[in-house]
Amino acid sequence: MLITPIYHVVVNGHIPGIYTSYQEALEQVKDYDDGKLRNYPTMKQARVAWSDYKSIAREKSIAFPVPKKLLLSHSINMGLKATVVLTSVSNPDSNSFTIHRKERRLYKNLDYPFTRTEVEGSINLRSFYQMLLIAKETIHFDESKKVTIFCSGSFITLFSKFAPSWKLNNWLTYLGDVPENIEQVKLIHPLYKQLASQVSFRSVKT
């Protein structure tokens, strides 16, 4: 008996997006004021719902204009009749990245995680988390597939060096301070650790 897949769309939560894992989606709305999670039987319906959310997200500056010139790109076949392209872009934020599915932009950038404001850093971490989720699903569909994520070396340093150190210190810096966006870091850290040996992370300099 075939089990019909369910796609979960977090339209309001810690890290909005489309999830195939109910538990991961549930984590996004847990303890989040006015958290909203919707379930759909097909990826097509989930994408429509997510597209509606993106129109709202643009007003919150989460969206990013489609780049005119690609500096590098890497395509991933998710096994869902869709292609995900991770690209650097030619714009003032030269270390930014955009995720495309069938030439349609989904998320903003993968710039330096420690930005001028905590809000900007939060948006960048959301994008990085979505890339990790895409990588996880890609490997799930085909374990032999090689996945590469191009990102600022700061993300690699953050999750391979700082996050483990903070975790040992009860998620505090060595000075006893609470790092910016620590809840998102705590959420992303185990997934990064899980994928570290399966995904190739390429540091791209500004």
Q: Are residues 45 and 116 in the same domain?
A: no
Q: Could you report the per-residue pLDDT of 86-136, keeping only the tens digit for each?
A: 443 333 333 334 444 333 333 333 444 444 445 556 667 777 787 788 778
Q: Is the pLDDT of residue 187 over 80?
A: yes
Q: Is the backbone of residue 200 left (phi > 0), alpha (psi -120 to 50) or beta?
A: beta
Residue 141: Cβ-neighbour burial (10 angstroms; 0-12, 13-18, 19+)? exposed
Q: What is the DSSP string of 52-71?
A: HHHHHHGGGT---PPPSSEE
CATH of the domain at 164: 3.30.420
For residue 138, give its domain range: 64-203
The residue ranking higher by pLDDT, 37 or 47, is 37
Q: What ranges make up the beta strands (E) of the chain?
A: 7-12, 17-19, 36-40, 70-77, 83-89, 97-101, 104-107, 147-151, 199-203
Question: In total, how many domains does the chain have?
Answer: 2
Q: Are residues 90 and 159 in the same domain?
A: yes
Three-class DSSP category at 201: strand
